[in-house]
Amino acid sequence: MGKIISIINNKGGVGKTTVSVNLADALAKKKKKVLLVDLDAQANATQKIFPQKTVLKNSVFDLLDTDSTNSVESTVYISTVKSCDIIPNIPETANLEPDLIKGFPNSLFILRNRLRDFATEKYDYTIIDNPPNMGTFVLLSLHTADSVIVPIKAGSTDSVQGLSKAIDLIKDIQKSNSNPDLKFLRLLINILDKRTGTGPAVMNQIQTIFGENQIFKTVVPVNTAFEKAEAHNNTIFQEDGTSRGANAYRQLALELIKIVEG
């Protein structure tokens, strides 16, 4: 059975979407079959790897719309990344939130019920990219996932606060028995600039608080290739597969596979 991994943080600007798309590409390059689910109505992950010439008919909107009769298969598209499919998103998905809130607690399981069996049977890894908050769509994601990765921007003390809120939410879901098997996989130290004093200081703070077994050994560095990839709506591998950033994601994929598969 495949694994579903949710990428969350309450703080924006930590590189969550960048982590989602690049990790998906890195896992695909390790001969894993990958599905990327863009659960953020800003659709940034969709913009990066959804083929421009492909007509988008169905999306995450159809998975979460209680009136939709479209199958999960109809929402899946071949992406620009080999061996990685995508369920894209559209801005209109944000309009579903009021109805989802009205439907609590049953609506918390709508994504799980429509996606989970399909994803775990068809794919080795499903990566869910989420909005930068702890709102409705993140709750749906956490009720669907097996485990959670929380990226944190190494140079930002504010992102440590977002980290704590994310971990508290995971614990609440575990205790509520709504998804008791949900696991906090690891923290990912992201956007580390060793040339500044803040980056290493925040990194040391995180390691002191959480311990090595809760943090990926792989650290994603600051790299101009990421900026170029973002400007061109590419993954780091599509932009520059020889860059330090690409090498970091290769190591991250290997580390993740070892943790998950043993």
Q: Which of 79-118 are b and which e, b meaning 16 or more Cβ less than 10 Å from the residue's Cβ?
A: bbbebbbbbbbbeebbebeeebeeeeeebbbbbbebbbeb
Distance of alpha carbon 231 from alpha carbon 240, whole angstroms:
13
Q: What are phi and psi of 94, to 5 degrees?
A: -60, -25
pLDDT band, residue 262 (cuts 50/70/90): confident
The residue whose two tokens read 């994504």 is: 111
Residue 236 confidence (pLDDT) above 80: yes
Distance of alpha carbon 192 from alpha carbon 188, whole angstroms:
11
CB 131 within 8 A of CB 41: yes
pLDDT band, residue 92 (cuts 50/70/90): very high
Residue 197 confidence (pLDDT) above 90: no
DSSP 220: P
Distance of alpha carbon 173 from alpha carbon 145, whole angstroms:
11
Instruction: Report pLDDT for 15.
Output: 78
- Counting Cβ atoms within 10 Å, is residue 148 exposed (0-12), middle (13-18) or buried (19+)? buried
Distance of alpha carbon 10 from alpha carbon 165, whole angstroms:
7
Residue 230 confidence (pLDDT) above 70: yes
Helix/strand/coil (H/E/C) assignment for every residue in 36-97: EEECCCCCHHHHHHCCCCCCCCCCHHHHHCCCCCCCHHHHCEECCCCCEEEECCCHHHHHHH
Instruction: Report pLDDT for 155.
Output: 61
Instruction: Report pLDDT for 254.
Output: 97
Cβ-Cβ contacts under 8 Å for 165 (sequence gap 6 or more): 10, 134
Residue 196 confidence (pLDDT) above 90: no
Residues 201-226 have pLDDT tens digits of: 777 777 787 878 889 999 998 888 98
pLDDT band, residue 34 (cuts 50/70/90): very high
Residues 152-163 have pLDDT tens digits of: 877 655 656 667
Across the chain, what does the average pLDDT equal? 91
DSSP 221: B
Nearest to 257 by CA among 10, 12, 18, 33: 33
Nearest to 40 by CA among 72, 6, 66, 70: 6
- Of 38-42, 162-166, 209-213, least confident by mean pLDDT is 162-166
Residues 93-137 have pLDDT tens digits of: 999 999 999 999 999 999 999 999 999 999 999 999 999 989 999
- Counting Cβ atoms within 10 Å, is residue 195 exposed (0-12), middle (13-18) or buried (19+)? exposed
